[in-house]
Structure 1
Amino acid sequence: MRAHHARAAQALDARTEPGDEFWGWAGRTLGAPARTATGQPAWLRLVSAPQDKASGKLWDGALDAQHAFGDLDGHRPSLLAVHDAVDDGVAYRAELSVRVDQQVLSTNPILHHDQQMPDGWWTDLTGILEKVAATSTERVAVRQQYMDRAIPEFLGIPAPAVTRWTTSHADVHWANLTASPLRILDWEGWGSAPEGFDAATLYAYTLLQPDTTARVRAAFPVLGSPAGRAAEATVCAQLLQTVARGDNLILGAPLQNWAGQLRGR
């Protein structure tokens, strides 16, 4: 991965800078600070996959997002260039993006400390997600077939009817958000989902902090409404599934409480 990362930098006429390298799940991705040929601060991310699996939603997510959204009025780091390579049956995609120097609000998707963000930040967040939701796409983040299977299994109720499908970032959590200016990172998995999916995702990752969960609900009135019930049930089922696999165990009890509330509704 390091060798291909260096080759990609050369191919994109960029140079990497000293600093921390950031590895994704199971070593699938490698990111590091870089600069473009003109000296612009950038971020070079390399993703790898078996050659026969190097396609589809996750593989093309960043490139598709650039075409669909651009920089979202400065709230999304623009993708500057892409370079593809194949070596010994493994495909590599390098994505050179504008560098975000602001720290994310949490090093973990799960919020472990109360987060008091100003009202303007919440207004910006809801506005950005409304703009995303109004964008047409053929990409799919959540499939009805998954909902029909997972919600009965993990919540014990039939999948609620989806009143409206909208476009979703699909991974809005605290490790993908910055403070000032607000930026939303990691557009790998975006696509259509039940209305309120991004709000429900942020709520789920905030369950350990009651004051902040109350602020999430205040910012997103779709939560707790009939229109948002399908999104809430889907996100709850998704995370309960990760708990069953041994991940996000700290959210196990709060998720079960949420599931009980959804059953009651």
Structure 2
Amino acid sequence: MSSSLSASVPVDLRVEPVDDVLDEVERALQTQLDRGTLVRKRRSLGARTDRGTWVRVERRRFDKISSQGWNGTECAALLDGVAKPQWHRGAAWRQPGDAVMWRVDETDLLPSAPVGSSVLASEPALSDEWWQTFNRSLDALAEQHTRRVATPDTVMIAQSGVADAIHRFLPDGGDATVKRWLPAHADLNWANMTAPEFCLFDWEDWGLAPQGLDAASLWGNSLAVPALAERVRRERRYDLESRDGKLMTLFVCAKILAPDAHPEDPRLEPARLMAARVAEDLQRG
């Protein structure tokens, strides 16, 4: 394993040498990877295998692996009624001499291409059937039973973190207590769903989260396209109009309006307006 991939320094797999990692995947799963199909992201890799499946490989530091383990994609294989790739097998190993783990999961190929990047700049062509399957999948997910806790951005979500994030919008000390915790994907964005056939993938961070987290996250990733953001709100209004959904809307707005936000991000102004409106609703209610 490459000694340059140390836990002590930031690592970006888009630029690091990864041949040793891919060799380990091939040995662990007894398959050959089509390296011409390799997709490189900051902390994950993906490629097609010689048996017509897909592997996703992720690197994670020990301090980003909670006591519940690190097998979200494997655990998601048990979810009923959710349109997702079928999981086949997985493997994990420690990077020699470092506090870093690698994990690979092998699944079916996606039925269609990802809708786009995580945050869209133009409206995608999505059929009514797509939205119906999207809604059925999110509704089915919320009805599952799990002890897993969601880890958005690899951080386990908790009441304290939610309150810290949204109290900037509730200066009078409004109640930020979450009432309903339901299973959520926890990384719902346009890069993790396919079209024209709907499929939801990248399940490594799913688990219990406040009602409305997924809907609010997708809404936030749609704000550069007002009609799309409004469609998301309309489709998931049951979640977003709930009290916890309003808290999650503020939670997402807090991320968009972070101090290091790019000043030209087109989501800033609609996020400010929505945060003000939702905060007023919560303080009135």
- Give the TM-score of the pair, scaled to structure 2: 0.79
Q: Which residue of 2 aligns with 1:224?
A: 241
Q: Call closer, same or farther: CA 1:129–1:202 in 2, change over 3 Å.
A: same
Matched residue SS, 2:147 = coil
- RMSD value, Cα: 2.4
| Residue identity in the other structure for 2:209 | A
CA pair 201-159 structure 1, distance change in 2 beyond 3 A:
farther
Contact 1:116–1:212 (CA under 8 A) maintained in structure 2: no
Q: Alpha-carbon deviation of 1:59?
A: 2.7
Change (3 A) 1:237 1:100: same
CA distance in 1, matches of 2:88, 2:166: 39
What secondary structure sits across from 2:70 in the alignment? helix
Tell me if 1:199 matches 2:215.
yes
Work out whether 1:131 is the aligned partner of 2:131: no
Deviation track 1:128-153 (CA, whole Å, cap 9, x = no partner) reads 01111011111222311111111113
Question: Is 2:165 aligned against 1:150?
Answer: yes
> Match of 1:4?
21
Q: Residue 30 and residue 13 in structure 1: after superposition, are their counterparts in 2 closer, same or farther (change >3 A)?
A: same
Q: Give yes or no for the alignment of 1:91 onto 2:91.
A: no
Q: What amino acid sits opposite 1:233 in the alignment? A: L
Distance 1:8 1:30 in 2: 11
Q: Contact 1:83–1:95 at 8 Å: present in 2 too?
A: yes
Q: Is the 8 A contact 2:210 2:248 kept in 1?
A: yes
CA contact (8 A) 2:188 2:217 kept: yes
Q: 1:103 to 1:78 in 2, by over 3 A?
A: same
Aligned length: 253
Equivalent residue of 1:113, what SS?
coil
Secondary structure, counterpart of 1:59 in structure 2: coil
**Which 5+ residue runs of structure 2 have no aligned equivalent?**
1-17, 151-156
CA contact (8 A) 1:109 1:205 kept: yes
Question: What amino acid sits opposite 2:207 in the alignment?
Answer: G
Name the one with the larger helix percent: 1
Matched, 1:240 2:257: yes
Aligned equivalents of 1:182, 1:29: Cα separation in 2: 22
The counterpart of 1:65, out of the listed 76, 92, 96, is 76
Q: Percent of aligned pairs with the same residue? A: 28
Q: Is the 8 A contact 1:160 1:229 kept in 2?
A: no
Q: Give the equivalent residue in structure 1 for 2:5.
A: none
Q: Describe the shift of the 1:22–1:248 C-alpha distance in structure 2 as closer, same or farther (beyond 3 A).
A: farther
1:88–1:245 CA distance, 2 compared to 1 (3 A)? same
Structure 1 residue runs of 5 or longer lacking an equivalent are none
State the Cα distance separating 1:83 from its structure 2 match: 1.7
Given candidates 78, 86, 89, the residue that maps to 1:78 is: 86
- After TM superposition, the score normalised by the length of structure 1 is 0.85
Paired with 1:155 and 1:16, the residues of 2 have a C-alpha distance of: 51
